[in-house]
Amino acid sequence: MPEKHDLSIVIPTYKEEKRIERCINESLFFFRNNPRISNFEIIFVSDDAGDQTIEMIKKHLPGNPELKLLVNPERLQKGFSVRRGVLEAKYDPIMFYDVDLSTPLYETNKFLDEIDKYDMLIASRGLGESKVEKQWHKAFFSKGFSIWKRLLLGTNVNDTQCGFKMFNSKCKELFKLQTIKTSTFDLEILYIARKKGFTVKELPVTWIDSDASNFTTFGNIRQCFFDTLKILSASRKGKYG
């Protein structure tokens, strides 16, 4: 029989009132009925956007002790939210995924098969075995960003930005050193992990692009390239030890 795990799940949210119900319902159903899971918690970390996202999560808290909600008082962005959730997680391993469920939850079991062998597992849309449906402009951006980060940071990971990852609790050390608050935080975490000798493995997944994504092409391109320079600068200043 495969080993059973306790699991903490971190889900960052911002302006997600159109997708949050599906995420909550599918997540609770999947993990409650997964024979690979002993105990679990789902930690929503939400920036207050002034919409109904937080109230919709609160509506589900009574009667669902596995759900937790952490509210940021202002727009602190995805990287900050994931960091906060990971540092407050009580189980080992810890995973995070995006609220849009672009990577199906059944991929979790593939990660549970490997997590005892590595410090960190990351879903990679860049592997040949992955099944990916992505809008052309995002694919073009991903290719350009991959070249950029390899040139500046020497990153040998095919896909640093896919919103589906799993860590052991040792990786909390990496998040304590994190400085990037934006959606480029993944790249920083992986960069620090390589510097400190953490073991990382990419796994192929199914990934279906979400039309309702908060991703704004040109804004994200500019931010990602800027954040890469910030990571390089922080490393040169010794901020990662």
Q: Is residue 119 part of a domain?
A: yes
Q: Is residue 96 part of a domain?
A: yes
- pLDDT tens, 27-79? 999 999 999 999 999 999 999 988 999 999 999 999 999 999 999 988 999 99
CA 89 to the chain's CA centroid: 14
Q: Give yes or no for a contact between 10 and 40, defined as CB atoms under 8 angstroms apart.
A: no
pTM, to two decimals: 0.89
Q: Which of 186-195, 197-206, 210-219 has the lowest mean pLDDT?
A: 210-219
Distances (CA, A) of 159 to 28, 77, 87: 28, 21, 24
Domain boundaries, position 221: 5-236
Reported as type and span, the H/E element at residue 69 is: strand 67-72
Q: Is residue 207 part of a domain?
A: yes
Number of structural domains in the chain: 1
Domain of residue 162, CATH code:
3.90.550.10
Percentage of residues of the chain with pLDDT beyond 70: 86
Q: Is residue 145 part of a domain?
A: yes
Distance CA 40, CA 37 (A): 7
**CA triple 170-96-70, angle to 5 deg:** 95
Higher pLDDT, 3 or 150: 3
User: Hey, what are 226's tokens?
Assistant: 């800027």
Q: Is residue 241 part of a domain?
A: no
Distance CA 91, CA 5 (A): 9
